[in-house]
Structure 1
């Protein structure tokens, strides 16, 4: 029995993702009021609805949380104190200190946890990692990330928690956790970084819409990161990896953050990048690609509950990302490269 806390991402992604599992039943939903929860629960055929997440805990065996980072720590820590396995969103919190408390609570509870870092489940990314591990393009030289999209909030110049840094909004906290996580998943720990957080001159909202970073990994590899969430007709999401013997490129030009990635390769002597065949492509999936990506993590989470395994990405992995976010904020404030 799984309970969902939050009815935004919770209803659009978490409910259908967990329902793709044969072992999970979504039995309860919690929102800021019982009325809001009941309206969504009735539409999605979920039996129980609560305006208090503590009451939901009494009725479930595991919890999935999808609320702003400013609200998530209290809910996660309370669920862990009750001994409930927790699936939660990125980033864990607004501050490193609060994220550390969440990890301490998870350690004390000894239950399964998972953070929704979805890129490690996407077939094209899995294949790219396999090729890199077998040295397909030789020793690595540099990497470059470009993520250019126009979010709904920025298209319509709307204000919400996603544009308010005090609640965990802004481009760094909304998109940066995914980038930091997949960079370390592919290339190892980040040693140092510098960052600049900016927005359009005529944008009165507080949250940044452009993040530019330089990163250095412990293995000596360096790279650049640019994330823009106010890019009309931006090129989408692209990761380029340059090695002594060639290049690998992951590129998704679509509006679906998970579906639409193609993998391209060029070896030394090739005149152009050529597509790489990827097993298990999601292109036939007609719904939001985030559902499939999250379903893969949810399946792993549910299996960990049953088998008592503890596989990444756990809350401890979320804490590593939180420290990188903090480093980026400190670099922006001080104008200095931050050694982590």
Structure 2
């Protein structure tokens, strides 16, 4: 395969990120099929035409079904709001296309199950947009864990905080609608869950409490509308390996931007990472002499693959869209038949969705829930 035909449905924040990745993957990695940007779909023909010109797609449509029916499209990026993922992804799979779908997988667990079943039946490759697992820092942390650098892991703490919903007078929009999901759990709590899956194999059981800091928000008509989702979640959990854990999520945390703070405690040391400092992590090892024991800060560098594909010098740093390029490359490797490709496919995504719905069930019933 020398080239692969790409279709893109949706051109918001994540649609643009996918377009940048499809345009950048070949120059960065220099291998695999060359993406051919064939077809772009949006809610109107006019918007689709404008975005196709901006992003470099050959043609455009206001009907996403026409894109899926296009025989030149071999892989489809689905970057629409959450409620549309299942219908679009399943239609693409049934048409014989590979699918790269943004997270969360679906709003309803039954839809996620149908997506995973469709993927298995199709034999096509699927990937979900959990690009934080592609960070060279996270990859290296997994290597350190596999090497036993901090011994046996006994406790983990994950926090994810942002302030884009911190203002109580911010206008009501779709992320406060029940149709988008539970709120913080599946809007971005799935990212820490993807890291737990990548590093530890996932979560075994949970006890969760969800909070709604603001009961309503102003709407564009000048009234107020009731908030239907939970912006804060606090979760006790047990990893599949037996370690205990805590996950705290907050979409209304003033001052926090893109924070995923992670602490991993082991029998011989600790690893700490905070995504607001994207290109570094901290390592403490008890094997150091007492006179020098302390956290050391490690900056990413070309020795932390695939950082070297972007920048030849340490300390310069990668960013969010670079991780989407890495994710795109892993998807292409999987399509090429490479079994070690590091992606979260629809079966892996279903595991994450089951954890989310178990947390919601735990909140409703006030008890521990097995996954």
Choose the corresponding residue for 1:223, options 239, 245, 268.
Answer: 245
Q: Distance in 2 between matches of 1:249 and 1:203?
A: 36
Deviation at 1:263, TM superposition (A): 0.8
Q: Deviations over 1:163-206 (max 9, x none)?
A: 22322362111111111111121122311001111121455422
Choose the corresponding residue for 1:291, options 313, 321, 340.
Answer: 321
Q: 2:279·2:299 contact (CA, 8 Å) conserved in 1?
A: no
Measured on the aligned residues, the alpha-carbon RMSD in Å equals: 2.1
Deviation at 1:332, TM superposition (A): 1.1
Residue of structure 1 in register with 2:224 after alignment: none
Q: Distance in 2 between matches of 1:181 and 1:208?
A: 20
Q: Match of 2:233, SS?
A: strand
The alignment status of 1:29 with 2:32, answered yes or no, reads no
Structure index of larger Rg: 2
Q: Distance in 1 between matches of 2:159 and 2:100?
A: 28
Residue of structure 2 in register with 1:334 after alignment: 365
Q: Distance in 2 between matches of 1:244 and 1:141?
A: 7
Listed as ranges, the gaps of 5+ residues in structure 1 are: 255-259
Q: Distance in 2 between matches of 1:120 and 1:308?
A: 18
Q: Distance in 1 between matches of 2:14 and 2:157?
A: 32
Q: Distance in 2 between matches of 1:121 and 1:181?
A: 11
Residue of structure 2 in register with 1:51 after alignment: 62
Residue of structure 1 in register with 2:345 after alignment: 314
Q: Match of 2:83, SS?
A: coil
Residue of structure 1 in register with 2:8 after alignment: 4
Q: Distance in 2 between matches of 1:231 and 1:116?
A: 24
Structure 2 CA distance for partners of 1:201 and 1:120, relative to 1, 3 Å = closer
Q: 1:195·1:213 contact (CA, 8 Å) conserved in 2?
A: yes
What does 1:253-264 align with in structure 2 at a 5 Å threshold? 253=276, 260-264=278-282
Structure 2 CA distance for partners of 1:203 and 1:145, relative to 1, 3 Å = farther
Q: Match of 1:4, SS?
A: strand
Deviation at 1:308, TM superposition (A): 6.9
Deviation at 1:252, TM superposition (A): 2.4
Relative to the length of structure 1, the TM-score reads: 0.91
What does 1:59-208 align with in structure 2 at a 5 Å threshold? 59-151=72-164, 153-155=165-167, 157-168=170-181, 170-201=183-214, 203-204=216-217, 205-208=227-230
Listed as ranges, the gaps of 5+ residues in structure 2 are: 27-33, 218-226
Relative to the length of structure 2, the TM-score reads: 0.84
Deviation at 1:278, TM superposition (A): 3.1
Deviation at 1:310, TM superposition (A): 8.0
Q: Match of 1:49, SS?
A: strand
| Count of residue pairs brought into register by the alignment | 332
The alignment status of 1:214 with 2:236, answered yes or no, reads yes
Deviation at 1:98, TM superposition (A): 1.1
Q: Distance in 1 between matches of 2:256 and 2:102?
A: 26
Q: 1:4·1:10 contact (CA, 8 Å) conserved in 2?
A: no
Dislocated runs of 4+, deviation >6 Å: none
Structure 2 CA distance for partners of 1:73 and 1:213, relative to 1, 3 Å = same
Deviation at 1:146, TM superposition (A): 1.7
Structure 2 CA distance for partners of 1:196 and 1:210, relative to 1, 3 Å = same
